[in-house]
Amino acid sequence: MYVIRALSLILVLMTLGLLESIRNLPGNHLREIRLNIQSSSMRNENLPAHKLVDNGKWSQESWFCMLNHLASLPNLVVLELLGGLVICPEFFRGIVDYPGTPFPSLVEFELQFAPETADGKWFYERDDDALERSRNDPKYDEFWEEEDENEEDVEGDAWSIYSNEEYNSDEYVSVFEDGPFCRKLISRNRFRSLPSTITFLPFLMDSSKAASRIPTLQKFILKLGEDSTRRGDLNYFPVVSRVFELWYLKAGMHRTPLNTPMPNPYVPRDAAYLNQNRIYWRIDGTKPWDDVQAAWGAIAGPDAKIVFLEEDQWTKHVNNSYVYIYKGEF
């Protein structure tokens, strides 16, 4: 726990420093802001998430404060917050309740967020039904055979697929002489794949309310995790899938700027619907809550093209980096 608290303090101080630097910039002249915060989500999701802000103190969280400040910039056209930011579920609440008009000139917005939250919660929960279904799926036979063979070895580890018990810090972290140490290496366990009605649902509802308040908005992207070149984090625990992307594109707006040498991700068939408002959902076979679909559908309008992208229709090409191209039909 000492290590986790130290890392949390470092993250808070770094973000506060960045916020202060941005506040000191001449805001009237800023037209484009692209921040790429290189971060990796937790590899063992049964450990306590970093708590960067106390419960109920989301209005003091650094990224929340930064978004509210940026909303006051009169000429900001493009805002991209990339890399997997650790935020509170109430991240958009300040824009929803913003006095006056937030982001009066903003055209393009993108946020990439981490699965854990800044107040020590998660946007995703463990999906026991998905785990059980995978036992009857032949393509996972080899995986489960190995897990069954190792059941005795993993029993009592920081997380086991056979147990819902939380991480016991007293058992795995101990103070020796002048500091804490871990008794054993903690294996990767990214198993959370079920969207949480407690955290994720209100976050998505607030995102739609925030988007509806930005008068010039033409592109709004929400995405879980890092950029496209770092997909597949769950390959070592393949029986669950955690994918989330929401693209809201107004008529005439491309997903990726036209001057980009190779759009990534690239959906060739989007060109046929460029004269319409579009909403793309990438959530790997699941469906968003009805209230969320209705809220975003109201923003896009009755004539909007709404597409659910199928995960098995993506192809990966190597062109200096990975490029993802969607081959599916609409």
More confident of the two residues 165 and 259:
259
pLDDT for the residue numbered 112: 95
Does the pLDDT value for residue 308 go beyond 60?
A: yes
When the pLDDT of each residue in the chain is averaged and rounded to a whole number, the result is 82
| Mean pLDDT calculated for residue range 23-44 | 83
Q: What is the pLDDT of residues 138-176, one digit of tens each?
A: 888 888 888 777 665 555 444 444 444 444 444 444 444
Distance from C-alpha of 292 to C-alpha of 248, rounded to nearest angstrom: 13
> Which of 79-93, 140-154, 162-176, 263-277 shows the lowest per-residue confidence on average (mean pLDDT)?
162-176
Report which listed range, 46-60, 232-246, 296-310, is most confident: 296-310
The answer for residues whose C-beta is within 8 angstroms of residue 29's C-beta and 6 or more apart is: 75
With cut-offs at 50, 70 and 90, classify the pLDDT of residue 261: low
Rg (CA), the chain: 21
| pLDDT at residue 143, rounded to an integer | 82
Tell me the Ramachandran region of residue 301: left when phi exceeds 0, alpha when psi lies from -120 to 50, beta otherwise: left
Contact 222, 207 (CB under 8 A): yes
Residues 17-46: what's their mean pLDDT? 81
Residue 24 pLDDT level (bands cut at 50, 70, 90): confident
Most confident residue range from 107-121, 125-139, 256-270: 107-121
Give the pair of three-digit tokens for residue 276: 């319409």
Residue 38 pLDDT more than 80?
no
Please report the DSSP string for 44-75 in residue order: BTTSPPPBSS-TT-GGG-HHHHHHHHHTT-TT
Give pLDDT, residue 27: 78
Comparing 80 with 175, the larger pLDDT belongs to 80
pLDDT band at 186 (very low <50, low <70, confident <90, very high): low
- Would you kindly state where each structural domain of the chain is located, as residue ranges? 2-125+191-326
In this predicted model, what pLDDT tens digit does every residue of 201-257 receive, in sequence order?
999 999 999 999 999 999 999 999 865 444 444 455 677 888 999 999 999 999 987
pLDDT band of residue 4 (cuts 50, 70, 90) is very low
Q: Is 280 within 8 Å of 171 (Cβ atoms)?
A: no
Cβ-in-10-Å burial (0-12, 13-18, 19+) of 20 comes to: exposed
Reply yes or no on whether the pLDDT at 269 is more than 80: yes
Q: What percent of the chain has pLDDT over 90?
A: 49
